[in-house]
Amino acid sequence: MIHLLTIDWLLLLEKLVLIVIVVMASLVIAMYETYAERKIAAFMQDRIGPNRAGPFGLLQPLADGGKLFFKEEIIPNHSNKILFILGPSLAMLTAMMTCAVVPWSGDLHLFGRTIALQIADINIGILYVFAVVSLGVYGIMIGGWSSNNKFSLMAALRGASQVISYELAMGISLISLLMMTGTLSLKTIVEQQMVSHWNVLYQPLAFLIFFVCALAECNRTPFDLPEAESELNMGYHQEYSSMKLGFYLFAEYVNMFISSAIMATLFFGGYDIPFFNEAAHADWGNWLALAGVVCFMIKIALFIFLFMWVRWTVPRFRYDQLMNLGWKKLIPLALANMLVTGAVLLYLQHK
Amino acid sequence: MTTLTNRAKPVSRKPMTFIESIYLWNIFKGMMITLRHFFKKKATIQYPEQTRPFSPVFRGVQILNRDEEGRERCTACGLCALACPAEAITMEGAERMPGEENLYREEKYAAKYEINMLRCIFCGFCEEACPKDAIYLSETFAPAAYNRKNFIYNKKDLLIPDPKTEPEEYAEAKGLREISKKNK
């Protein structure tokens, strides 16, 4: 039996607070992503977008959420009830779980304790991300399957095959990065980038492939085949209403936030402030950590903008184009990138 | 194949090269276009606050006119109803009684005057047909209503406010045309 006194209760409390903050923050950010999406879409189409609820329409997400809550909750008669409810819950859960390993910034020093701004610095951080992200597709699959609707089932199939094809390229593109860093811990990867250069300078092709695959993983246009409004009539969430639908839509935005965070961490130095030597300004203490959070958030915001920019530019791929791009283009490119990286690393070692 | 104009461009059927088939360059070009639109002036008009100016020949809801002393001009001659291609106008005439000279300009007036706004096509023939300058088309359109009955406009809806008792409302109704011209 573990003696109760040996457990660091303060650590548990500290982590609990951090979890609450991170989960709340990602929900709020996801809320305002919906607002940003509508605004950006409008601006790119020469419109103004929502501007009636509150100043500049800033209360629009609240109005949308309120609307979803008050809508009628419908569970189709012929659906599998347990799976039908499990679908959106799983989508939301997996979306939220990924943020556990993201290092938000350097250490804070409060009340004589060193608080790491990361829920769990596990040494297989990236592996964990991959594991959870690939669970995310179960939300789509289960939801589509249990709806007992042909369109939803088609969407579930598409979602599954899409994720399988793109996760492969994503993994291979990351291997070349991992060969350079030599670690799977996200925190260590960021710290390496703080002392040398950002990984994107060494691995631009890997970043590009990773970005394309991230679009596919998040089911964002041009890879939004599972929900393809015009073909599948909303796809896997066709039978969903009220907050269950809200969860699906919300999970997509949380996913986008998290994958932006992962990309910023892996390739763009995470909470590293560009053109600024953190080690020389260690006396800033907590302010340095907070500046890191702000910088990280700016990077994430830029990525989210990029996601939306792509969405409102590129039309949806056809299913065969999607498969072609995944299997015949991205995977060979990722493999080639991996081989070249390996060769260069070997050469540098034996020089 | 012969073409009608020299503007036709033949479609290239060449298979895509590897670089083309990863779409990146073309997507980048497209993204530049959307980015340009991002900073463009927006076409939106914030409707209830801003309105788009009507054209000077715009034909909206009819108004029954009064003269300077506030007397109704209409004499229920029925020419507007006759001219109306949609048969939207109905009216009933009545004789002016002694003591009503401040209400009606001529000896005969319209006791009932109705325009069915669901039938009206806003052609403006009524305005053209009227010999007394009693009806004209304003620059407002008929607001939405919940049932058909509310689309049958009677005299109460159509008559312009009295210039003597409600000069401001009268000026507003008269001036709609001028205001909208000013907006341009």
A340: containing domain: 74-349
Q: Which residues of A touch B21 (CB under 8 A)?
A: 324-325, 329
What residues of chain A, 136 to 165, have a C-beta less than 8 Å from chain B?
A: none
Residue A1 has pLDDT above 80, yes or no: no
Tell me the mean pLDDT in the region B151-176: 77
- Looking at the domain assignment, is residue A333 inside a domain? yes
List residues of B whose CB lies inside 8 A of any A CB.
18, 21-24, 27, 30-31, 33-35, 37-38, 40-44, 46
- Looking at the domain assignment, is residue A19 inside a domain? no
pLDDT of residue B179: 46
For B155, the token pair is: 């005299």
Most confident of A223-232, A309-318, B160-169: A309-318
For A305, the token pair is: 């903008």
The domain tally of chain A equals: 1
The amino acid at B148? R
The 10s digit of each residue's pLDDT in A174-229 is: 888 888 888 888 888 888 888 888 888 888 888 988 998 888 888 887 887 777 76
Q: Which residues of B53-91 are buried (b: 16+ CB within 10 A; e: fewer)?
A: ebeeebbebbbbbbeeebbbbbbbbebbbebbeeebbeb
In what helix (H) or strand (E) does residue B94 lie, and over which residues does it extend? strand B89-95
Q: Which residues of B touch A309 (CB under 8 A)?
A: 31, 34-35
> Which of A336, A166, A337, A177 is CA-nearest to residue A265?
A177
> Which of B73, B62, B173, B58 is CA-nearest to residue B114?
B62
Locate the DSSP E strands across chain A. Answer: 108-110, 113-115
Q: Compute chain A's Rg from CA coordinates.
A: 21
Residue B184 has pLDDT above 60, yes or no: no
Q: Which residues of A269-295 are buried (b: 16+ CB within 10 A; e: fewer)?
A: bbbbbeeeebeeeeeeeeebbbbbbeb
Topology classification of domain B62-182: Alpha-Beta Plaits (3.30.70)
- Looking at the domain assignment, is residue A56 inside a domain? no
Shortest CB distance from B37 goes to which of A46, A310, A333? A46
d(CA B173, CA B158): 11
- Looking at the domain assignment, is residue A204 inside a domain? yes
The answer to whether the beta carbons of residues A253 and A27 sit under 8 Å apart is: no
Q: Which residues of A touch B38 (CB under 8 A)?
A: 40, 43-44
Q: What share of chain A is helix, strand, coil (3-state, %, to 5)?
A: 70, 0, 25
Q: Which residues of A touch B36 (CB under 8 A)?
A: none
Higher pLDDT, A232 or A142: A142
Higher pLDDT, A350 or A226: A350
pLDDT of residue B182: 46
- Looking at the domain assignment, is residue A214 inside a domain? yes
- Looking at the domain assignment, is residue A53 inside a domain? no
Q: What band does A5 get if pLDDT is binned at 50, 70 and 90?
A: low
Q: Cα distance from A286 to chain B (closest Cα, Å)?
A: 38
Phi-psi region of A23 (alpha: psi -120 to 50; beta: other; left: phi over 0): alpha
For A72, the token pair is: 């009628």
pLDDT of residue A110: 74
Taking CB atoms and an 8 Å limit, are A333 and B40 in contact across chains? no
- Looking at the domain assignment, is residue A54 inside a domain? no
Handedness of CA B114, B119, B121, B125 (dihedral sign): negative
The answer to whether the beta carbons of residues A44 and B38 sit under 8 Å apart is: yes
What residues of chain A, 34 to 63, have a C-beta less than 8 Å from chain B?
A: 40, 43-48, 51
Taking CB atoms and an 8 Å limit, are B42 and A43 in contact across chains? yes
The 10s digit of each residue's pLDDT in B66-125 is: 888 888 888 888 899 999 999 999 999 888 888 888 888 888 888 899 999 889 998 889
- Looking at the domain assignment, is residue A16 inside a domain? no
Candidate from A270-279, B55-64, B142-151 with smallest mean pLDDT: A270-279
d(CA B164, CA B103): 12
The 10s digit of each residue's pLDDT in A234-260 is: 777 778 888 888 888 888 888 888 889
The amino acid at A93? L
As for the ipTM of the complex, it is: 0.73
pLDDT of residue A54: 80
Residue B52 has pLDDT above 50, yes or no: yes
- pLDDT > 70 in chain A, percent: 96
Q: What band does A336 get if pLDDT is binned at 50, 70 and 90?
A: very high
Q: What band does A340 get if pLDDT is binned at 50, 70 and 90?
A: very high
